[in-house]
């Protein structure tokens, strides 16, 4: 049953849908999807075109805005918006350490999770679209992984799209996980070097923390094993507009003098565990490398294997010498499933997914080459999370796609630059810019 309620300037309606778990077996098991409909208060009774928002990730539910925050304010001027919790996330049927054992053992869990990639998400969208729009095509706004899903949408069901707007999410059509991470580590290093240039005092702070973690077994209050590799993974923050500043503030309060000597402060540990825990989005860790798998080659913990090609990321060698400790970025590693209590029960499941060799293609280059949907994309120069070269190659491969390449924003430009980013892209989609 749908229920509507109000926040400042917006009317919201909870929407619930039932879709097949496996769209190749439409009469089989089903799962539930949740989405939040949003419409401007002064236009609630009007017939408006629909905009479907696909969140980044994978593994995150849609934004929980209060009123008309961020880019939503701009979207509500023209659209009725559907904020979809993609399968396995938010209020849709969840996939977590608590729910996955209902599927059976690790093998059954891994089989289940193969249905949580972009192709299944697109088919979910096409299943619910007739219910939402009455059959009319809609505009899709895809942020980051949501952009990957949008390119799959253009490949699998372009008839469902009026137009497509992509922000920071043009994937390579052909690159495998190894290729993605081989391109990512040098970008990450550039971000770390830029951070240290802005905050040179953080070089010594990071070294002190790394030295402490290499010589102590640290367990955070939530049970997370805080290793030096986990500390380095905080570099994920450097891909956002304010991430460098937030990382700096985090590092400056790391230590406190205690009766037993210098130790990591409770305040620092509390912040760190909130940043590192996957309790709220375990699906991200489970299927992240699988979003790059498109053939019989296993992902086989690509980020961990490729990291060995970049020895400058070895923190133990850095602290023994005079090199700075380098942070890492958007990578998933086997040790995550040892360190994080939210992931430990899923370690074997993750290993089976990493070994899998029956992945299906997510994109159709031939169909994209004759695309007729109006597509626009913001490509952020030197985006830490999505390789710019890969994005521009894909832009050239999709017929009619127009890009806005900018170094004004980081990967979170849709959030940090709203409403300017969405306003410009919508104007481009209408040939007004």
Show which residues are catalytic.
144, 358, 411
d(CA 413, CA 420): 9
Query: What's the burial of 18, exposed, middle or buried (CB within 10 Å: 0-12/13-18/19+)?
Result: exposed
Q: What is the DSSP string of 322-346?
A: TPPPPP--S---TTHHHH-TTTGGG
Q: Which two tokens stand for residue 349?
A: 């499941």
- Other beta carbons less than 10 A from residue 175's beta carbon: 19
Please check whether residue 138 is in contact with residue 160, taking contact to mean a CB–CB distance below 8 angstroms: yes
13 vs 32, 329, 399, CA distance in Å?
Answer: 16, 36, 36
Q: List Cβ neighbours of 391 (8 Å cut-off, separation of 6 or more).
A: 170, 171, 172, 377, 379, 383, 403
Query: What's the burial of 69, exposed, middle or buried (CB within 10 Å: 0-12/13-18/19+)?
Result: middle
Please check whether residue 279 is in contact with residue 342, taking contact to mean a CB–CB distance below 8 angstroms: yes
Please check whether residue 33 is in contact with residue 17, taking contact to mean a CB–CB distance below 8 angstroms: yes
Give 171's Cβ-side CA count (13 Å radius): 35
Buried b (16+ CB within 10 A) or exposed e, 144-167: bbbbbbbbbbbbbebebbbbbbbb
Crossing angle of the two packed helices 177-198 and 388-397, in degrees rounded to 10: 130
| DSSP-based three-state secondary structure for 14 | strand
CA dihedral sign, ordered 273, 276, 279, 280: positive
288 vs 78, 420, 428, CA distance in Å?
Answer: 33, 30, 31
Q: Dihedral (C-alpha) 225, 226, 232, 233: value to the nearest 10 degrees?
A: 50
Q: Which two tokens stand for residue 274?
A: 């909130």
């Amino acid at each position: 049953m749908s229920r509507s309620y109000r926040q400042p300037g917006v009317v919201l309606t909870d929407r619930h849908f039932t879709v097949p778990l496996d769209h190749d077996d439409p009469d089989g098991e089903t799962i539930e999807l949740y989405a939040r409909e949003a419409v401007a208060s002064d236009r609630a009774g009007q017939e408006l075109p629909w905009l479907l928002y696909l969140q980044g990730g994978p593994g995150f539910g849609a934004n929980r805005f209060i009123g008309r925050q961020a880019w939503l304010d701009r979207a509500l001027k023209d659209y009725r918006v559907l904020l979809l919790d993609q399968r396995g996330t938010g209020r849709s049927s969840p996939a977590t350490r608590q729910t996955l054992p209902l599927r059976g053992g690790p093998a059954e869990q891994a089989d289940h999770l193969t249905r949580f990639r972009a192709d299944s998400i697109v088919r979910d969208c096409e299943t619910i679209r007739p219910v939402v729009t009455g059959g009319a095509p809609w505009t899709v706004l895809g942020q980051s992984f949501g952009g990957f899903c949008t390119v799959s949408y253009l490949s699998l069901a372009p008839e469902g799209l009026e137009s497509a707007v992509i922000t920071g999410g043009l994937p390579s059509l052909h690159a495998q996980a190894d290729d993605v991470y081989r391109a990512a580590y040098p970008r990450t290093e550039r971000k770390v070097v830029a951070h240290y240039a802005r905050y040179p005092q953080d070089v010594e702070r990071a070294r002190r923390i790394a030295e402490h973690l290499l010589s102590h077994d640290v367990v955070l209050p939530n049970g997370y094993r805080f290793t030096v590799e986990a500390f380095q993974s905080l570099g994920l923050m450097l891909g956002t507009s304010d991430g460098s500043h937030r990382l700096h503030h985090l590092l400056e309060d790391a230590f406190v003098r205690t009766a037993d000597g210098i130790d990591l402060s409770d305040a620092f540990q509390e912040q760190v565990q909130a940043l590192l825990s996957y309790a709220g989005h375990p699906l991200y860790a489970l299927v992240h490398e699988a979003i790059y798998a498109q053939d019989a080659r296993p992902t086989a913990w690509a980020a961990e294997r490729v990291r060995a090609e970049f020895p400058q990321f070895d923190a133990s060698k850095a602290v023994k010498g005079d090199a700075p400790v380098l942070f890492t970025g958007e990578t998933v590693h086997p040790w995550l499933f040892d360190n994080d209590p939210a992931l430990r029960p899923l370690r074997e499941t993750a290993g089976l997914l990493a070994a899998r060799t029956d992945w299906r293609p997510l994109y159709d280059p031939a169909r994209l080459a004759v695309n007729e949907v109006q597509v626009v994309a913001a490509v952020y120069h030197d985006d830490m999370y999505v390789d710019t070269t890969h994005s521009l190659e894909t832009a050239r491969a999709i017929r009619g796609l127009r890009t806005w390449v900018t170094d004004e924003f980081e990967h979170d430009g849709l959030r940090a630059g709203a409403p300017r980013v969405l306003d410009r892209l919508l104007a481009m989609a209408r040939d007004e810019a």
